[in-house]
Structure 1
Amino acid sequence: MDKELEGYVIYCKDLNKEIPLGVVSNNYDCQAISKYIPSRLKNFLVEIEDKRFYDHKGVDIRGVSRAIFENLKEGKIVQGGSTISQQLARNIIRDNKKNFKRKFRETYKAFQIEKLFSKNEILDLYFNNIYFGKNIWGLRTAGLYYFNKEVDKLSQSELIYLLTILRGPNYYTKNSKIFSKRYNLINGILFEKKLISKSRYQKNIKSKLTISETPLSNFNEHSINFITKYVDDKRKKIISTIDLKTQKLAQEFVKESKYPVSIIALKKGKVIGFASSYGTDYPFISKSNVGSTLKPFIYCNLRENGVLKTEKFDSFKNTLDWKVREVKYYKPQLTIKEALLYSNNNAFLNATGKVGIDSNLEFLSNILDKPKSDFFPSSILGATRNGISLYDLALAYSTFFNPDSLTENKTECLSILNEIFYSKLGLRVDNAFLKTGTTNENKERYAILGNADLVYAVLRNENKINDSSKEGSFMKQISRKVLSMFQNNKNFVWI
């Protein structure tokens, strides 16, 4: 996506309600940007934090003089005397150390801010950059996190709540009595200065605030193209294709895994959930060899090109004279159905050799929508020149096995993958499929599973020393989480 989306809020729709998921951020900070900051909130802030804001040039000499006297007396920083511009500078610098060097940097930055921006612009910058605890930066993010509301939907008491916690978000949110004392103090000051009415003051005091603490994630910009329905630039908002339940499941799957893991879910070709131990962009930009997960496509091509179901191929050696690793040996000769069930490499190489390697490589090139130059003979076993991303793999399955374009050979292939589903997961679901693959000496383990509507692609990275079997606890991990999303649909059975 060409436009700058940093700070946009990502939403999904759940039961016709828009639910905030997180923000576009290329770093650790969860920071949403808002073009709208209520004027009354700006007035409240000036009265509470910096009464002479409109008179000074970044530093309040009277406030600083008082602070310097107290700090010299104590021999350390005990008072700040910071203006709004200085507080903004501190949040931009991201330095909260209590020493004179930090104070000097903060003051110098405040002077720069005052030269570059108007007072109103400074207040906008302040509310877009100030820290609200829990890795939440900016008023908009705080409103979404604490109240599950956009800025323009926040009540006055909710705005004052956010003002109350400004000086120490984690401190005030964890100490209800201390919070109440400061909240009431701020209300009293605003009433005394006639910034709120008496009735409003009384309502604020009696108000029972409901804190939601809505989880918000950081979405790297490289993932945005893949999940966007439309972008509202005016409100800096992205409506995504994400399904809330699926996204939560994906995040839990990653959080609960003892190994680094990535997962992505597609429904009818659209991304509805994804997560990774390596960041939200990983399923889309990280590419590697995908092992035996390409064999179902090759199976269909072999059948289309005349390989019979009864025809058998050597499973111990291949015509290319390659030494390939096999999980175990079953019979000296296998049909391609048996080769797919057992994931036998030699039999597949021999079958593709009969049809022609180039025919299969061109077929894979079309399925994965990649240049023919990306593929070479070992692509039959899942290797490509530039690798395949988890998203690419999931999309290929979702598109190729689309119920609206099933052929007899695809249906036949799916029935074999259904057998694999049952044999590995122990669950009989008539319309579900599964294919696994391992690469890099078992350090990368893939699983592609799905049904008529839904496809999951999972990649687990690990050290084989910790889990020496071919699939180890991988299938147990999948069965604990992902299988809850599959329903036994008797109206769609692969035969």
Structure 2
Amino acid sequence: MLKLKQRKYLLTPLFLFFIILLFPLINIIKITTKFKPENLIHKDNLNYSYEIYSSDNKLINKLSRKYDVLNDSEIIPTLIKNAFISGEDKRFMYHNGIDLMGLLRAFKNNLESGYIREGGSTITQQVSRIIFLNNDLNIKRKIKELIISLILDFKYSKSYILKLYLNNIYLGSGAYGVNEASQIYFGKFINELSLSEIALIVGLAPAPSIYSPFNNINLALKNRDKILYGMYSDGYITKNDLNYALNEKIKLNNPQENSIYLGDSVLINFILNETNKLINYKGIEGKYNYIKIKSSINTAWQNKAQNLARSIQPEDLEIALVTIDSNSGLIRTMISGKEPISNTFNRATYAIRPLSSTFKIIPYMAAFKDGKNLKDKYYDVPTCWDDYCPKNFSNIYKGKISLIEAFKSSSNIVPIKISKELGLEKIITLANEFGIGYQHKIEEFLPLAIGSYGDSLLNISNVYSTINNSGWLIKPSILEKLESRNGEIIWENNFEAKRVIKKINIKKLNKILEKSVSEGSGIAASIRNEKIFGKTGTSDGNRDLWFIGSLKGITTGVWLGFDDYKKTNLSSANAALFWKMYIKSINQSE
């Protein structure tokens, strides 16, 4: 009787413990069995999947791919399917989503080796984690994974589950799915891969960062060999196939070739933001779950500019650069800082810095618009307007000089006199036509005439680009075309232009801009046998150094300075010299 009571007392806690576990388990099962995978797999209004290409059709980046299926199973080569089945889930075609034999085998092998050398997750379980769950290490997630795997196996064909897996598995270096891995590691499409290359990609699946050929080629090859031997053992390849693949020399895609783009989150975000603005404007949100973005970026020019930017000294001096195709308004190059991987701020579009003498083109343009000529005279002498007494650079004054000479010497007095004579309202209105002052309202005060007002490099560069385009204003764009998955053109840039400067005044503006480079403050940008139209700019304390110049249908703006607005020991000649180095480098690359 006593033993019976003791047994009763022992069983009671065990029973309670079982009940405590049972109710949450029932709840998890109840919730999970209501799960409908099609709500996620076929949901169109999830994040867009983007592929971003350069103007010369080179892949820049891919984003938001998790729920996207890039390839139909029919165009995924059979060899890739077999390789993953052999390497990841040998009994994939036979189990019901959960492989009890595989779990037992993994347990036995791990026990014998004394450490965890293989897992027991099936491909279906991995799909459950990748698409519907996460990698949390807890019992609740594991139970959900098992139930979802059973549901997937019941509702969908093995072919479809395998397709989901092959298009969503993370394979390292930013690659989601075999198609991306193929392009990132080998610069090929999946149907171009050799058996050896396929095996190397499959070998990445267990631990992409550890087995990455970019990090450890020897370890990657060792794992590749393991996959190849497994495929031979499973009957997927012949002995000759095995030997040929083992002896094949792996040629990797150079990761540095696209590193500027893949690591330049500022450039990528600017392209995406412009795309999203366009999508919202056209009212097509949710209509497409995949968009191919053809940007206007020229990969060779972008690389040249970024490599030059890295060499700038001192170390904390920053740079921004934009190149605009003046005939189309397309942005061919956009450098937002010296090091794109660590940079998070777009200095080309969002940095609002005093435009200094680059703004002087606006008062001169207003003067020509008012009917004035290049030889019209103004007094370049010390002058005060109430308490405002501006000075010329180095306190040098030329006396009575022509407009072309005043611009060449970058007089501060003359553009202020022009603005006072015509009225600041005219200067502001003209600046607004070009987008200057659109972001920040321009106040009516005289220092405005010599660039005390702040705006972005992109905006002021487009003023010069408009002059280079014979007076036709085009809003700068980094987008050429948007396409859907089936090749439908969603949007195409038609380069809408508006004439804002008459031809007669374009000739005058080109004269003063050419003179500024050939004989004036921009002489550091001059290139033998080339006509260059440009202007330098230097803010107080040499805090901002500018040069904007046009040559052969393109306009490039350069800004140098410190983010904390401290003074530099440089001059605008440094910006002009960088412009020259960049222009010469891109001409050599063509």
Relative to the length of structure 1, the TM-score reads: 0.76
1:311 equivalenced with 2:377 (yes/no): yes
- Deviation, structure 1 residue 368: 3.0
Match for residue 197 of structure 2 among 158, 166, 175 = 158
Letter in 1 for 2:410: S
State the alpha-carbon separation in 1 of the partners of residues 125 and 366 from structure 2.
Answer: 67
C-alpha change, 1:314 and 1:326, in structure 2 (3 Å) is: closer
2:6 aligns to what?
Answer: none
Kindly tell me: are residues 78 and 157 of structure 1, through their superposed partners in 2, closer, same or farther at Cα, counting changes over 3 Å?
Answer: closer
Letter in 2 for 1:453: G
CA contact (8 A) 2:546 2:575 kept: no
Within the alignment, does 1:140 sit opposite 2:183 as a pair? no
SS of the counterpart of 1:360? helix
CA distance in 2, matches of 1:312, 1:408: 20
The match for 2:395 is 329
Aligned-residue offset at 1:289:
4.2
**Superposition pairs of residues 251-400 of structure 1, within 5 angstroms:** 251-257=306-312, 258=315, 259-267=317-325, 268=327, 269-277=329-337, 278=343, 283-307=348-372, 309-319=375-385, 321-322=387-388, 324=390, 327-331=393-397, 333=399, 335=401, 336-368=403-435, 374-378=441-445, 379-382=448-451, 388-400=455-467
1:296 shift after superposition = 1.8
Choose which of 457, 463, 468 in structure 1 pairs with 2:569.
468
Residue 206 and residue 397 in structure 1: after superposition, are their counterparts in 2 closer, same or farther (change >3 A)? same
Q: 414, 426, 442: which is aligned to 2:513?
A: 414
Residues 34 and 345 of structure 1: is their aligned pair in 2 closer, same or farther, counting only changes over 3 Å?
farther
**Structure 1 stretch displaced more, 35-44 or 348-357:** 35-44
Deviations 1:249-284 (A, max 9, x none): 122133334333222212233222222224596534
Structure-2 change in CA distance of 1:324 and 1:152 (3 Å): farther
Which is further off, 29-38 or 181-190? 29-38
Q: Which amino acid is the alignment partner of residue 191 of structure 1? A: Y
Change (3 A) 1:399 1:311: same
What residue number does 1:10 align with? 53
Letter in 2 for 1:211: L
Q: Distance in 1 between matches of 2:268 and 2:247?
A: 41
Matched residues in 2 for 1:460 and 1:295: separation? 19
How many angstroms apart in 2 are the aligned matches of 1:300 and 1:25?
44
Q: Distance in 1 between matches of 2:509 and 2:160?
A: 61
Distance 1:66 1:352, change over 3 A: same
The residue identity in structure 2 corresponding to 1:331 is Y
Work out the CA distance in 1 between the residues paired with 2:96 and 2:203. 25
Equivalent residue, structure 1, for 2:536 = 436
Unpaired runs of at least 5, structure 1: 488-495
* Partners of 1:25 and 1:287 in 2: CA distance: 29
Q: Hey, what does 2:475 align to over in structure 1? A: none
Q: Matches of 2:137 and 2:528 in 1, distance apart?
A: 64
For the pair 1:246 / 2:284, whether they are aligned, the reply is no
Which of 546, 562, 587 is the aligned partner of 1:446?
546
Q: Which moved more, 1:82-91 or 1:178-187?
A: 82-91
Q: Distance in 2 between matches of 1:145 and 1:421?
A: 46
What's the offset of the Cα at 1:162? 1.3
Against the structure 1 CA distance between its residues 289 and 81, is the aligned structure 2 distance closer, same or farther, given a 3 Å change threshold? farther
Measure, in 1, the Cα distance between the counterparts of 2:132 and 2:52. Answer: 24
Q: 3-state DSSP class of the match of 1:374?
A: coil
**Preserved CA contact (<8 Å) 2:200 2:221:** no
Is the 8 Å Cα contact of residues 315 and 345 (structure 1) preserved in structure 2? no
User: Partners of 1:441 and 1:30 in 2: how far apart?
Assistant: 50
Q: Check conservation: 1:432, 1:451, Cα contact below 8 A.
A: yes
1:398 is paired with a residue whose SS is helix
Could you say which residue in structure 2 is the equivalent of 1:491? none
1:164 Cα deviation (Å)?
2.5
Shift of 1:169: 4.2
- Quote the offset at 1:330 in angstroms: 0.6
* CA contact 1:86–1:109 (8 Å) conserved in 2: no
Query: For the structure 1 residues 459 and 356, does the alpha-carbon distance in structure 2 shift closer, same or farther, using more than 3 Å as the test?
Result: same
Q: State the one-letter code of the partner of 2:183.
A: L
In 1, Cα distance between equivalents of 2:560 and 2:235: 60
Aligned residues: 471
Contact 1:300 1:410 in 2 (8 A): yes
Report deviation, 1:192.
3.4
What is the Cα deviation at residue 354 of structure 1?
A: 0.8
For 1:106 and 1:241, the matched residues in 2 are separated by 45
Distance of 1:109 and 1:478 partners within structure 2: 59
Residue 49 of structure 1, CA deviation: 0.8
Paired-residue identity, %:
21
Rate the CA distance shift 1:105–1:329 in 2: closer, same or farther, 3 A: farther
Once residues 540 and 48 of structure 2 are traced to their aligned partners in structure 1, the CA distance between those partners, rounded to angstroms, is 36
Distance in 2 separating the partners of 1:160 and 1:167: 13
Cα distance 1:388–1:36, how it changes in 2: closer, same or farther (>3 A)? farther
SS of the residue 2:171 aligns to: coil
The yes-or-no answer on 1:182 pairing with 2:223 is yes
Cα displacement (A) at 1:313? 3.6
In the TM superposition, what is the alpha-carbon distance from 1:24 to its structure 2 partner?
4.7
CA distance in 1, matches of 2:67, 2:457: 28
Q: Which structure has the greater CA radius of gyration?
A: 2
In structure 2, runs of 5+ residues without a counterpart are 1-44, 280-287, 338-342, 472-502
Of 268, 271, 279, which aligns to 1:220? Answer: 268
Taking a change above 3 Å as real, the CA distance of residues 391 and 472 of structure 1, as seen in their structure-2 partners, is closer
CA distances 1:23-58 after superposition (whole Å, capped 9, x unpaired): 1549xx999973346152234212211234466787
* CA shift in 2, pair 1:135/1:373, >3 Å: closer
C-alpha distance 161-381 of structure 1, shift in aligned 2 (>3 A): same
> Aligned ranges for residues 54-203 of structure 1 at < 5 Å?
60=99, 63=102, 80-84=119-123, 102=137, 107=142, 110-111=145-146, 114=149, 118=156, 123-172=162-211, 173=213, 174-196=215-237, 200-203=241-244
